[in-house]
Amino acid sequence: MTVVLILHHFFHGANIGRYDLKVLIDGERAHCDLKGLYLTSDEQHLDNFINIDHSKPNSSSNLFYKGILSGKSRAVFGGTVLVRKEAQKTFSVQSDKNLILSDQAEVDSKPALFIYADDVQCAHGASAGNIDEDSIFYMRSRGIDLETASKLLIYGFADEIISQIEQIEFRDFIADKFLESLPDYKFEF
């Protein structure tokens, strides 16, 4: 039997927030798919700590988080994947991508892999940055004003997580709430 765990996490609004999640993958061919999206602004602070423990062979996990930070907000991402010695043939990918909309916003991303098995496929990565000037130029050259172009690019960044929600009503709800929460922002170079 294959066991699958799929979780989507969305965060916005807390002045100080912390999210801790520990997942034990304790069955062959079990799969864990964790996706998260957060939006921080003003002086908000959010910590995300996710730990995935592969204890059996032939299991897999996907950890994909995205953050959008503005104002003087801060975020921390701590993602740990442990692959035990007996968890041969594990496949695990971990990614944390962040869109920084202010010179004063900051994210600390600490993905980590602890691999004790020999026959695995595991990867992790993290990035933080702003939208490049060419993307804004492209949209502006199509007649889109700067504020609309900025919001479309920010939403496009987030939609990679939002669009994966299978329940249509919930996906629409999250998309609407996210659009309402977007900061008034104009990319300027």
**Higher per-residue confidence, 148 vs 105:** 105
Which of these, 186, 184, 161, lies nearest to 174 by C-alpha position? 161
Token pair 């003003």: residue: 42
pLDDT at 1: 47
- Mean of the per-residue pLDDT values of the chain: 92
Q: Which amino acid is at 61?
A: S
Mean of the pLDDT values across residues 101-114? 94
* Segment 50-65 mean pLDDT: 96
pLDDT at 105 (0 to 100): 95
85 close to 55: Cβ distance less than 8 angstroms = no
- Say yes or no to pLDDT of 189 above 70: no
Under the banding of pLDDT at 50, 70 and 90, the label for residue 146 is confident
Label each residue of 28-64 as H, E or C.
Answer: CCCEEEEEEEEEECCCCEEEEEEEEEECCCCCEEEEE
92 pLDDT band (50/70/90 cuts)? very high
Pairwise pLDDT comparison (183 vs 75), residue with the higher score: 75
Which token pair is 133? 């000037």
Quick one: pLDDT at residue 6?
A: 87
pLDDT, mean of residues 46-69: 96
Residues 6+ apart with CB under 8 A from 42: 71, 72, 73
Return the pLDDT at 141. 92
Rounded Cα–Cα distance for residues 141 and 137 (Å): 6
Write out the two tokens for 154.
Answer: 């920010």
| Residue type for position 3 | V
Is 80 exceeded by the pLDDT of residue 76? yes
79, pLDDT greater than 80: yes
Position 23 confidence tier, pLDDT thresholds 50, 70, 90: very high
Count of CA atoms in the C-beta half-sphere (13 A) of 41: 9
Report how far residue 121's alpha carbon sits from residue 53's, in angstroms, rounded to the nearest whole number: 15
